Amino acid sequence: MLMPFSTLSWSPDGERGVFTGVVGIQKGDDQEPILRLFTVRADGSGLRVIRGTNGAGGPVLSPDGRTVAFTRSVDRETPTTVGGKRRKLGFHGASVWTVDLSTGAQRQLTPWRDGISYVASSISPDGSTLLATHEDDRLLREAEPVALELDGRGSKRLFDDGFAPVYSPDGSQIALTRRTVSYGEDREEGIDLYVINADGSGVRRLTRTPGLYEFGPSWDPSGERLAYVRFSPFRVEAGVSGGSALMQVNADGTCPTKVSSTLGASLSVPAWQPGPGRGAGRIEC
């Protein structure tokens, strides 16, 4: 069974994808799903489980197609064992790993620490850097985008806040989402789409949607536009029906366009299929 809201990660040629699936339910009171990563060809054939991915979510396939980065998370109130250590008060955190597709060999990139989460989201085109979202419950600031060196040399915070950072096809830019607040007669919170340079400089805001939540940016293979999801929360007092829409916008913020929408349901994170001839180019307003 496909994991609800599982992200799909494409190989660079668009001929193969990796996603999270549910293979069973754990025994005990928590009834947590047992997760594995799967790989499948674009035509739906060749489905197989990836060894060494117990508990894996959010797969990110490397540019050479040999490894997959993923996130393991633990969210338990009761005593549990994490990283070989018994946690009497439960544990809440997430760690980033990689797995070799041919051998199943795993490597842990970030440590297990209670209250700290790293969630993988994108690998640079040259395969050297993994983008992730870092959150620390002990700090009062927002989640922040970070770049992890895949050779183990360290990490770098890219910006003060933001989450789900994703490299552009040429690696020169990073799309991400950030929480926003607009003040007027009423205070409205939302989440908008931004683009920064790969070194963290040159922030550009692409959307302005007070009261709406945007997430899951995915680059068109040409690097000239992005797809994303816009979520409208259900608000009884305003008589507004909740729903979501699949959107696209040029990389410079022009021509935001609705592709499709639904009421009373949620669309998942879009994943633009890469490969020759699949680039859409700029949107003409």
pLDDT over 60 (residue 240) = no
What confidence tens digit (pLDDT) does each residue in 183-194 have?
666 678 899 999
- What average pLDDT does the segment 254-267 reach? 85
Q: What pLDDT does 234 receive?
A: 60
Q: Percent of the chain at pLDDT above 90?
A: 66
Is 274 a residue whose pLDDT tops 70?
yes
Q: What is the reported pLDDT for 33?
A: 78
State the average pLDDT for the chain.
Answer: 89
- For residue 233, pLDDT beyond 80: no
pLDDT digits (tens, 9 = 90+) for 125-164: 999 999 999 999 877 678 999 999 998 888 899 998 999 9
Residue 77 reports pLDDT greater than 50? yes
pLDDT at 238 over 60: no
When pLDDT is cut at 50, 70 and 90, the band that residue 182 belongs to is: confident
Q: If pLDDT is split at 50, 70 and 90, which confidence band does 23 have?
A: confident
Q: How confident is the model at residue 271 (pLDDT cuts 50, 70, 90)?
A: very high
Look at residue 237 and tell me whether its pLDDT is greater than 50: no
Q: What local confidence, expressed as pLDDT, does residue 225 receive? A: 97
HEC assignment per residue over the chain = CECCCCCCEECCCCCEEEEEEEEEECCCCCCCEEEEEEEEECCCCCCEECCCCCCEEEEEECCCCCEEEEEEEEEECCCEEECCEEECCCEEEEEEEEEECCCCCEEECCCCCCCEEEEEEEECCCCCEEEEEEEECCCCCCCEEEEEECCCCCEEECCCCCEEEEECCCCCEEEEEEEEEECCCCCEEEEEEEEEECCCCCCEECCCCCCCEEEEEEECCCCCEEEEEEEECCECCCCECCEEEEEEEECCCCCCEEEEEEECCCCCCCCCCCCCCCCCCCCCC
Please tell me the pTM assigned to this model. 0.90
CATH 2.120.10.30 in the chain: give the residue spans: 1-157
Q: Is the domain defined by 1-157 classed in CATH 3.40.50.300?
A: no
